[in-house]
A and B are shown apart, each in its own frame.
Chain A
Amino acid sequence: MTAQANPQAARVVLEQVSKRFGQTLAVDQVSLAIEPGELVTLLGPSGCGKTTTLRMVAGLETVGGGRIFIGDAEVTHLPPNARDVTMVFQSYALFPHLTVFENVAYGLRVLKRSEAEVQQAVRNVLELVGMPGLEGRSPSALSGGQQQRVAVARALVMQPKVLLFDEPLSNLDAKLRKRMREEIRLLQQRLGITAIYVTHDQAEALAISDRIVVMDRGRTSQIGSPLELYKAPANRFVAEFIGEANFLPAQLESVADGWAGIRIGPQRLRVQSRPLAVGPVTVLARPEAIRIQTGGEGLAGTIQKVSYLGSSADYTVETDLGSVLVTDYAMPGGVLSAGTAVRLEFLPHGVYPLPGAS
């Protein structure tokens, strides 16, 4: 998208890739095409097969079935050192017996590059990740964020066709995590490098990705841009995994041209929708797209629980349709207390009918 053209960047294609560990099918016929220069995130809960998929691309895991292509070449059965792929590991995996410089230089030395070239390339890449001047340190003398940068530098210096990230930020604290993910994204866009990024953190995935692959029990649940996944989740799993979600029974009354007329409780509204059959449906209602008022129109309910979070307040409201989570950022009437009778009004931009029976 914003990536500039990089001749090194390669297209990565997975064709019905599967992997079995004993009796369990860890990855089940995953197909995926990643464009040159694109950053695609594999997102899902632990055990969904995202890391295994990544490791198969790296060659660290044998491929049970299907084929993997990097650029024009099939790499399905190539050992990892014969692929033009580098990886940033969750634990950083910095070699403890080598200095920062030698860690970054490791791959170049394996390729028997000239000393001058190694020196030049290592200094450049350490500069690029914002880590000049620490070449002689031992990795154990670095902070978590610095180790992270060295790990990225070590992977980048090889100018790989594909850069893989395996939950690279999960060992950092929340604030640093946010900064590092922005830096990684900037770097990736600037270099126009193809990247696959594994995380279980949906906020990280939304912030960093061109496209997200949501995985569930070894299968791809949905592939799409962050906006598509949030606005038009393909199923309940995706809707629940990305952002908070209410699932409410509703009536689909009419469908035409990508719009649907629906009725939730007493309220009628027109929302964007994929073509669905008229009748009872489950709708996804995002908590921040529900207006909570002490009077007026809308679904009637009683506040059960209040959590005040500073910039917003979360209400659990008991209604005829079940309990509904509402996030109020505006708080026009201050914070309401538990037991208050309220009316809920659904805003069309945050309501989406889910396919499949309710």
Chain B
Amino acid sequence: MAECSSGIDVTAVRNPACLVGGLGLLLTTAAVPFIAREGQAFGFGRAHLRLTALALTDQFPGFWLLTALAVAWVAAGLLQEERPHGPALWGGVAGCLLVVWLTWAAGVKPYAFGPGAVLALAICLVVLASGLSRGGYIRADTFVAASILALAFFVLLFILYPIFAVLQHSVMDSRGFRPALFVDTLRNYQAFWRVLGNSLGLAVFVGVISTVIGLAFALAATRSRSRITVLLRSFSLLPLITPPFVVGLAIILLFGLQGFITSTLLGLKTRGIFGFPGLALAQTLSFAPVAFLVIASVVESVNPALEEASLTLRAGPWETFWKVTLPLLRPGLANAFLLTIIESLADFGNPIVLGGEFEVLSTEIYFSIIGRFDQTLAASLGIVLLAFSLATFLLQQCWLGERSYVTVTGKPPSGKPMPLPRGLEIGLLSFCAAWCVFTLALYLFVIYGGFVEIWGINNAFTLRHYRQLLRDGMDALNTTLILAGISSPLTAAVGILLAYLVVRHQFPGRGALEFTSMLSFAVPGTVIGIGYIMAFNQSPFLLTGTATILVISFVFRNMPVGIRSGIAALAQIDRALEEASVTLRASFATTIRRIVLPLIRPAIISALVFSFVRSVTAISAVVFLVSAKWQLSTKVILDQAENGRYGLATSYSTVLIVIMALAIALMYLLVGKRAAAGGLEGGGLA
């Protein structure tokens, strides 16, 4: 906003926000193209100057209003004495609405929004923010108010609007709005009940099994005195750094038609693993560690005094475990169960390679778009999937929000937790060790698979796949790493800024903003994916086929990672530190830079690393958004796996695993073990 210094002493004016904003807006309307031709958003030629707001007034007289607003602000800035926030506030609201309306009106094919529209909206938001801040509606300065408005706008545009677009496509086709369309579509789709049953049955089954295994691991890892627990902890890392398909591919290599166990050892020629058994196994392997993290944190927060009290009341270790410890874990178990269900419903990578005839919602949505080109069916199935995911998410939020027995005080409770009863401990440890060995074997087989000519048929050692990878796969790998590298700082910034605003500031709509931004975690990636292609492949918001939409999808899919680390880190910092800083004349931006950021550095680094990792391993949303020009590694692996070229798929997966492992190791190096583990938890849950 400092672009204007045309000889006027801004500090002498009562209302600098209006003056500067007005001048900036005038400049924007006169010189910056408000709309742009598709795909040429950032050109600056003579042709573009015919697309400025001022030039467009011929066709759309509405643009005069924007110029009028700019003039009015300049006037208000120079003249206004009393109540300086009025024109900023009302002008800001009017300006934002005006820009959106004009973009909608003028941005018709082949034109879409241009830099002028973005700039004008930004100016109006900032002026509105200064009005809100000066008017006392937000207890902070313009920077904070503008951040709130901008983030709210982004959340609306990139989380809610795509969901709305899916909803819209499920009840609207070329013949217009028909509420019955949704029901008709699903009725005409014969497989609907079977697919729904498959998805839900699988989710509940995997939820139960994963929770039980997670509990076993959690008890063994937190309560056993054995050294093996360190191994169990690092085991929890694996699914986070695992690209999709890896577990699925490993299962195929072991149990598939040419599988090592089924074919080589047992001599069976069976495709039986494809479908429910393979999927259940793959999802359990992938999500049990998530359940483990959730339950372990609850086990650790159980106050040992409760168990000690039980022991002094004549109960033995077994009785104490059954009657005190386990009941206290119930909220954690429920939480793990519901989270696993959400993950299972949203899972796309495993079903696509292992599903076989066993269709689930997420893959059917994909095939509706990619195979059948039926947007209405995709949207309708998307709404069904979304409904179940959101219902589970809401259940988790409301129900568990109320019923947590474990008090969070921030102080570690004193006393030693009770060791497990001996028999239980031995049983748990052996089970966990076996499970770990199995998991490890899967990963080794994936790595090994990359060095084998044709799995199960010609087991000769070869570097052929890696050579092919170097030749054909590097473009996608570069794109993946560059886009993940761009999006990870953005994700961390947006997530942590949002956490800061939600935790530290009071403003209307705060709860809604927090809820909506965390919502993107519960929205299955396939739904967001089709939402993005439905929302952003048409004017005025034309983004499909660009790298921008990939970055945006990374940022808003992974934002909860940043939010969680941010919230956890801020909870550790006395808010008086920031208050001290602002009473010492520092602005909120300065306070964030000089006080908050240095103190939450570990959270920032872990948010950076995990958003990077999650971007590199993302598949479910981006599978719809990649293009020939902007291809991603995971999509390449998917294509190879779908065509049965497991050698290339596994070698590519191995490369990604190594990159992820390096990223995580770097984080440990930078922030130390404890902070890294904390960040890991945030990454694991989100």
Which A residues lie at the B interface, using CB under 8 A? 58-63, 76-77, 79-83, 85-87, 89-91, 93-97, 106-107, 110-111, 154-155, 158, 164
Contacts and interface: CB of A to CB of B under 8 A. Distances in A.
Interface in B569-624: 574, 576-577, 579-588, 590, 594-595, 598-599
Interface size class of B (residues with CB under 8 A): 20 to 34
Q: Interface residues of B: mostly helix, strand, loop or mixed?
A: helix
A79 B590 CA distance: 14
Nearest to B135: A77
Contacts of B85: 77
Contact of A93 (B140, B576, B586): B576
Interface of B: 85, 133-141, 506, 574, 576-577, 579-588, 590, 594-595, 598-599
Given A91-B576, A95-B577, A110-B590, A80 B136 contact: no
Nearest to A63: B136
Contacts of B583: 58-60, 80-81, 83, 85-87, 155, 164
A4 to B, nearest CB: 25
B579 A80 contact: yes
B133 A79 contact: yes
Given A79-B588, A87-B580, A110-B590, 20 more contacts: A60-B579, A60-B582, A62-B136, A62-B139, A62-B506, A77-B134, A79-B141, A80-B579, A81-B583, A81-B585, A82-B141, A86-B583, A87-B583, A91-B576, A93-B577, A95-B580, A96-B599, A97-B598, A111-B585, A158-B585
B139 A61 contact: yes
B588 to A, nearest CB: 8
A58 B585 CA distance: 11
Given A79-B133, A110-B590, A91 B574 contact: yes
A80 B582 contact: yes
B420 to A, nearest CB: 38
A296 B595 CA distance: 70
A91 B136 CA distance: 27
Nearest to A76: B136
Contact of A110 (B140, B584, B599): B584
B579 A93 contact: yes
Contacts of B584: 81, 86, 106-107, 110, 154-155, 158
A106 B581 contact: yes
B599 A81 contact: no
B74 to A, nearest CB: 23
Nearest to B136: A77
A61 B579 CA distance: 10
Nearest to A166: B576
6 contacts: A59-B582, A60-B582, A81-B141, A93-B579, A94-B580, A106-B584
Contacts of A90: 576
Q: Which of B136, B141, B583 is packed against the most chain A CB atoms within 10 Å?
A: B583
A102 B284 CA distance: 53
Nearest to A60: B579
A159 to B, nearest CB: 11
A91 B578 CA distance: 12
B586 A110 contact: yes
Contact of A107 (B139, B586, B595, B598): B586
A97 B576 contact: no
Nearest to B579: A60
Nearest to A84: B585
Q: Which 6 A-B pairs have the closest CB atoms?
A: A107-B584, A77-B136, A93-B576, A93-B580, A62-B139, A80-B582
Nearest to A164: B583
A271 B232 CA distance: 80
